[in-house]
């Protein structure tokens, strides 16, 4: 029901034609904790509340949050999800049953508990994989290989007797018996469900926007993030009215749609209508689809949804920071869950950024008249034995020691000129360290000139008292202007 209602509404209103929405496994932990305390009615109420939060997030333009997630993190998330999808289909592919609640635990149980393989299931799943690989690409834009393979596999399994698992009985009601109502809803319940609702909204936001970012890289069409959040919110408000649960953009279904040649938002709407027809009319037929055939389709999709070109680019060029972000996010997605994976990926990116930004390049040079625009100018005589200090990078808390260590370097010099055109940023700690350095140079009665400041660094120097300490006449646009002045 969630896939039907949200699949149609969110595709109609969403931020890009390729987004396919519905229920996802990432919500499982949050929903189970709500059911344990409030029952299924609590899930419905929390879903409506989460939908309202998502609509507000879209109105407040919070969709740009993905701009702060680096490309290797998105690529790692996509690869991690592809591995999770593949691991989750091994039971169906081999026609067996594993133990454990997560994909990793189920795979480990194969080695600890053991499992029996169903040859018919493996043969059918393998045939699907081979068929999808050799299926001509030009045909795929007209009739998707995934659809053709499922039809052929179902027909073959009905003609040739096979002892394999199938989809099974499908409900045939448009309105489920349990659904959201205002009856029995009170302020205490709403207050208790606020935190779970925020978790559902946050997870839905991150998963939908990351799915959009990943699919945008596949299609080259940018996602309208704010519109997508509003669409997700509306879908989640409507879903519980029919008995549905929270929905987000689903990376597996979106990837299948993109790889099958999706061109307009009708893809998601037709997908929802086909599900509805399947629910009401084709239930007995859909019930006969072999699970191993579906597993074969998803295994191929999981392989293809990886951004292999980007992965190859990162590793072949040996971008160490990008490799760390990619692997950290991918492994965390497989081992933990989406929210933790994104958190780890973003934290890793911020740490690497802080390490890089903390590197301040400092170069020294003597004043040389031949480099001036007018070498015959006697300016060099006035600045005999002066030194120019070139700073490049950000002056931060992490490199304050480099600044303070300069104090003892200028003994015997006639003047010091700081060329700071390469300084992009200065924080409070860096400003304090620079202020202390200037105080020591002033105590040595050494003339100091500051040259080439950006507006932001100049503002920080004004606020921190550096301009007041030196005086306005010690600041110049360039070293050459300071010398001629």
pLDDT at 369: 63
Nearest alpha carbon to residue 190 among 92, 91, 50: 50
Whether residue 380 has pLDDT greater than 60 = no
Which pair of structure tokens corresponds to residue 206? 């991150």
Q: Which of 164-168, 179-183, 262-266, 360-364 has the lowest mean pLDDT?
A: 179-183
pLDDT above 90 coverage of the chain, percent: 41
Placement of tokens 């609509």 in the chain: 55
- Rounded to a whole number of angstroms, the CA Rg of the chain reads 31
Residue 375 has pLDDT above 60, yes or no: no
Q: 0.75 cut: is pTM over it?
A: no
389: β partners: 364, 418
Q: What is the per-residue pLDDT across 351-371, written as a single tens digit (0 to 9) for each?
A: 887 777 778 899 998 877 666
pLDDT average, residue stretch 24-40: 76
- Whether 1 contacts 278, CB under 8 Å: no
CA atoms of 368 and 46, how far apart (whole Å): 72
Q: Can you give the residue ranges of every domain in the chain?
A: 2-305, 361-484
Stated length of the chain? 485
Q: How far apart are CA 203 and CA 193, in angstroms?
A: 15
| pLDDT tens figures, 311-351 | 999 999 999 889 998 999 899 888 876 667 777 887 888 88
CATH top-level class of 361-484: alpha beta
Overall average pLDDT of the 3-12 stretch: 95
CA distance 14 to 232: 7
Strand partners, 476: 451
Digit-coded pLDDT (tens) for 201-226: 888 888 888 888 888 888 889 999 99
Q: What is the mean pLDDT of residues 48-58?
A: 95
Q: What is the model's pLDDT at position 26?
A: 65
Would you place residue 250 in the very low, low, confident or very high pLDDT band (cuts 50, 70, 90)?
confident
């Amino acid at each position: 029901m969630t896939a039907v209602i949200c699949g149609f509404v969110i595709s109609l209103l969403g931020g890009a034609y390729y987004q396919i929405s519905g229920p996802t496994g990432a919500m499982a932990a949050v929903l189970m904790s709500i059911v344990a305390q409030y029952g299924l009615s609590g899930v419905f109420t929390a879903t409506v509340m989460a939908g309202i939060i998502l609509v507000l997030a879209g109105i407040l333009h919070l969709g740009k949050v993905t701009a702060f997630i680096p490309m290797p993190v998105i690529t790692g998330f996509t690869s991690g999800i592809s591995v999770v999808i593949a691991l989750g289909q091994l039971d169906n592919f081999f026609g067996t049953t594993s133990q454990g609640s997560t994909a990793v635990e189920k795979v480990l149980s194969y080695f600890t508990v053991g499992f029996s393989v169903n040859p018919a299931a493996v043969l059918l799943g393998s045939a699907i994989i081979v068929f999808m690989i050799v299926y001509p690409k030009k045909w795929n834009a007209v009739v998707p290989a995934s659809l053709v393979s499922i039809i052929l596999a179902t027909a073959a399994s009905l003609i040739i007797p096979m002892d394999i698992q199938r989809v099974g009985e499908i409900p045939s009601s448009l309105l489920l018996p349990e659904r959201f109502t205002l009856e029995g809803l009170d302020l205490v319940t709403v207050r208790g469900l606020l935190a779970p609702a925020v978790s559902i909204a946050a997870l839905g936001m991150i998963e939908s926007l990351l799915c959009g970012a990943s699919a945008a890289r596949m299609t080259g069409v940018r996602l309208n993030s704010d519109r997508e959040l509003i669409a997700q919110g509306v879908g989640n408000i409507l879903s519980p009215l029919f008995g549905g649960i929270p929905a987000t953009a689903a990376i597996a279904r979106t990837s299948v749609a993109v790889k099958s040649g999706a061109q307009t938002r009708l893809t998601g709407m037709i997908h929802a209508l086909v599900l509805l027809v399947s629910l009401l009319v084709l239930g007995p037929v859909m019930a006969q689809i072999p699970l191993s055939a579906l597993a074969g389709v998803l295994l191929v999709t999981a392989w293809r949804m990886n951004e292999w070109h980007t992965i190859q680019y990162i590793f072949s060029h040996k971008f160490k920071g990008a490799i760390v972000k990619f692997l950290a996010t991918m492994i965390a997605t497989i081992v933990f869950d989406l929210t933790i994976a994104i958190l780890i990926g973003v934290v890793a990116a911020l740490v690497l950024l802080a390490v890089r930004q903390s590197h301040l390049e400092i170069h020294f040079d003597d004043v040389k008249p031949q480099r001036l625009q007018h070498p015959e100018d006697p300016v060099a005589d006035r600045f005999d034995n002066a030194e120019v200090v070139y700073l490049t990078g950000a002056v931060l808390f992490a490199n304050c020691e480099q600044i303070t260590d300069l104090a003892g370097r200028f003994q015997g010099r006639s003047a010091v000129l700081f060329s700071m055109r390469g300084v992009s940023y200065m924080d409070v700690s860096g400003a304090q360290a620079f202020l202390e350095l200037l105080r020591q140079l002033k105590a040595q009665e050494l003339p100091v000139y500051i040259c080439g400041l950006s507006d932001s660094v100049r503002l920080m120097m004004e606020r921190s008292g550096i301009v007041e300490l030196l005086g306005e006449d010690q600041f110049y646009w360039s070293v050459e202007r300071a010398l001629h002045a």
